[in-house]
């Protein structure tokens, strides 16, 4: 008989984010935390009415929802609540993560979150957001200045 052990994971499980090379588009931008708020506000304008947000904090990160959040208003409210509650300074690095364009948020040299965006077929609205804040999954994420070969 095989002995099985079921592991408990708090919230939704998303794959560990891994930086990948993107030789066709090596452009990276680094912005201040004030710019991060503007990015979030611009992001809110781009959300599709039926957008879904998946968060994975693993019970350790800043994820605010254990279930997917559906709808532009609910997703916008969640981002605003997290921004208002967070008194930390965030820097944004635009990187390729798991083969997808992503925003990697840092507090100093420490990764805070990875946001991967899924666009609608025309590419003009955001249909899905995958947010990973589980610190165990962010261990391979390094700031560009510490990783010259990173995109």
Strand partners, 130: 54, 116
| Ordered structural domains, the chain, with CATH | 30-141 (3.10.450.50)
**Whether the predicted pLDDT of 125 surpasses 70:** yes
Render pLDDT for 61-87 as a digit per residue (tens, 0 to 9): 777 788 999 999 899 888 777 777 766
| Concatenated DSSP letters of 24-50 | T-----EE-HHHHHHHHHHHHHHEEEE
pLDDT at residue 25 in the model: 43
Query: What SS3 class is residue 72?
Result: helix
- Mean pLDDT over residues 122-144, rounded? 87
Residue-level pLDDT at 146:
53
């Amino acid at each position: 008989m095989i002995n099985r052990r079921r592991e408990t994971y708090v919230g939704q499980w998303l794959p560990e984010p891994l930086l990948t090379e993107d030789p066709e588009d090596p452009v990276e931008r680094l912005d201040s935390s004030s710019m991060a708020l503007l990015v979030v506000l611009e992001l809110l304008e781009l959300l599709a009415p039926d957008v879904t947000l998946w968060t994975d904090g693993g019970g350790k990160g800043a994820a605010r929802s254990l279930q997917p959040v559906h709808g532009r208003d609910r997703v916008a409210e969640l981002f605003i609540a997290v921004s208002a509650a967070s008194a930390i300074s965030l820097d944004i690095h635009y990187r390729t993560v798991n083969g997808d364009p992503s925003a990697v948020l840092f507090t100093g040299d420490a990764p805070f979150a990875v946001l991967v965006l899924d666009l609608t077929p025309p590419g003009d609205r955001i249909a899905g957001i995958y947010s990973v804040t589980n610190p165990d999954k962010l261990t391979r994420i390094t700031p560009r200045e510490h990783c010259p070969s990173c995109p």
